[in-house]
Amino acid sequence: MARRDYEDDPNAPEANSLVPAASVVVVDEIGRVLLHRRTDNGMWALPGGKMELGESLAGCGIRETREETGIEIEISGIVGTYTDPGHVFAYDDGEVRQEFSICLLGRAIGGSLRTSDESFEVAWFKPDEMDALPMVAGIRKRLHDWRSSRIPVVR
């Protein structure tokens, strides 16, 4: 399903949905970060997605990372909360979801890179390689927070 992101845009449609989701900054043993290029908007992003009934937020981050990238992780902390009412996602079916993502910190413990229906490409990047990648502002903000702060950022 196509999705359009709006950030601080006066023409953004009004949100009608609030859905808890997790995203994860996954780091490997040499400090690289796991990103995937989303099929729905073509941008590089952190693994993550909507939390399902019957799982925890950490369980959601672990499952979404496995589904989108093939990598097995364990959760080691929190990067921050991303719940800006000025950031909404409009979907084809009329849903306008207000951002609600808790960005977790994860450590890769197994698996191997693979793409899926949700990802054109999956790869590890050194932190300074990420600046040149096309990504939405909300994802760039989380990576910036992760690189610049040792304590969680509440937004």
> Which residues lie near a copy of itself (CB under 8 A)?
15-16, 18, 20, 51, 53-59, 75, 77-78, 81, 83-85, 98, 100, 102, 104, 151-152, 154-155
Residue among 98 and 116 whose Cβ is closer to a copy of itself: 98
The least distance separating a copy of itself from the CB of residue 14, rounded to whole angstroms, comes to 8
Residue among 42 and 94 whose Cβ is closer to a copy of itself: 94
Query: Do the bridges between strand 21-27 and strand 96-98 make them parallel or antiparallel, or are there none, so unpaired?
Result: unpaired
What residues have CB less than 8 Å from 56, skipping those under 6 apart? none
CA-angle at 141, arms to 33 and 88, nearest 5°: 115
The least distance separating a copy of itself from the CB of residue 109, rounded to whole angstroms, comes to 15
Report which of 80, 7, 96 is spatially closest to residue 43, judged by C-alpha positions.
Answer: 7
The least distance separating a copy of itself from the CB of residue 68, rounded to whole angstroms, comes to 19
What residues have CB less than 8 Å from 11, skipping those under 6 apart? none
Residue among 140 and 155 whose Cβ is closer to a copy of itself: 155
